[in-house]
Amino acid sequence: MKVLAVGDVVGEAGIDTLHGLLRRVKREHGADFVIVNGENAAGRGIMPKQADDIFSAGADIITLGNHAFSKQQIAPYLDEHPDVLRPANLAPQSPGRGWGVFDGPQGLRLLVMNLIGRCDMHYGPDNPFLCADKILREAAGQYDIALAEIHANATSEKLAMGYYLDGRAAAVWGTHTHVQTADNRVNPKGAGYITDIGMTGPVVSVLGVCVEQSVAMFRGDLTEYFKTAPGDCALSGAVFTIGRDGRCASVARVWERWAVR
């Protein structure tokens, strides 16, 4: 089985890129199952329209992150769509779900969990490590293969999660920093791992944002904030090749440029 995870889709440009490339990438890599992080589909957050668009581009599951509820209009949509996951370790009364068991290829039942880190991020969520334990306990017997996205800032928190779930999940990938890392590999007990799969959006940008605005902010100039950058985009992600035994055989990085019309 091959799982394709796609990193944070940024704005309309990112969604266009997904429509332009996702089915081709899926075909070329032979991916059977596609998980797309959509927390920036509306810049900060996502609205029902963008979620529909991401599904129509070929995603099986949409995951979110710290911007899950930056647009609160998404809340009722989450309650109706179990295939859109917000971080599982948000406050328990949050709308939506943080994990689910889904029908995968070859009759495999896939447990997908969306976790969020806290180191150098917002302090609000519950402990993602203990949350992962709880999910694995609750879902025991209901799934064949476990997959985990850790949406986090600190490389330390993501690396630690990759080792923590090693032997219990077949793939652990990071999102949130919007820059793809080069450390794709299989951990000692068989979990495919990469610290960050990168973002899907404008190539010449700072996390998707217009370079001039970001530079101005760091210089301490007054500036407006958060215009999506113009120009060519890229789809960024990773493909995990997973055996029926739940071990990952290899992790390949994906980075495909898309010329915006």
Closest CA to 185 of 254, 253, 251: 251
Pick what 8 binds: Fe ion, a second copy, none; C-beta below 5 to 8 Å, kind-dependent: Fe ion
67 is catalytic: yes
Token duo for residue 37: 């992080």
Rule CB under 8 A: is residue 181 a binding residue for a second copy? Answer: yes
Q: Are the CB atoms for 158 and 120 separated by under 8 Å? A: no
DSSP 8-state assignment for residue 234? E
| Residue in 19, 67, 81, 122 annotated catalytic | 67
Closest CA to 112 of 240, 249, 260, 252: 240
Rule CB under 5 A: is residue 66 a binding residue for Fe ion? Answer: yes
Residue 128 CB coordination number (10 Å): 27
Among 123, 137, 141, 245, binds a second copy (CB under 8 A): 123
Choose one: 36-44, 80-88, 93-101, 135-143; the region binding a second copy (CB under 8 A): 93-101
Pick what 65 binds: a second copy, Fe ion, none; C-beta below 5 to 8 Å, kind-dependent: Fe ion
Choose one: 16-24, 55-63, 120-128, 242-250; the region binding a second copy (CB under 8 A): 120-128
Rule CB under 8 A: is residue 206 a binding residue for a second copy? Answer: yes
Render 85-140 in DSSP notation, one character per residue.
E--TTS-TTSSSBSEEEEE-GGGPEEEEEEEE--TTS-S-SPPHHHHHHHHHHHTT
Pick what 183 binds: Fe ion, a second copy, none; C-beta below 5 to 8 Å, kind-dependent: a second copy
Single-letter amino acid, residue 68: A
What is the enclosing helix (H) or strand (E) of 241?
strand 233-242
d(CA 94, CA 91): 6
Residue 51 half-sphere exposure toward CB, CA atoms < 13 A? 24
Rule CB under 8 A: is residue 260 a binding residue for a second copy? Answer: no
Among 15, 35, 40, 61, binds Fe ion (CB under 5 A): 40
Q: How far is the CB of 4 from a second copy (least distance, A)?
A: 16
Q: How far is the CB of 129 from a second copy (least distance, A)?
A: 5
Chain positions contacting Fe ion, by CB under 5 A: 8, 40, 65-66, 176
Which are the catalytic amino acids? Answer: 67
Chain positions contacting a second copy, by CB under 8 A: 69, 72, 75, 90-95, 118-130, 153-157, 159-161, 163-164, 177-183, 187-188, 195-196, 198, 204-207, 209, 211, 214-215, 217-222, 253, 255
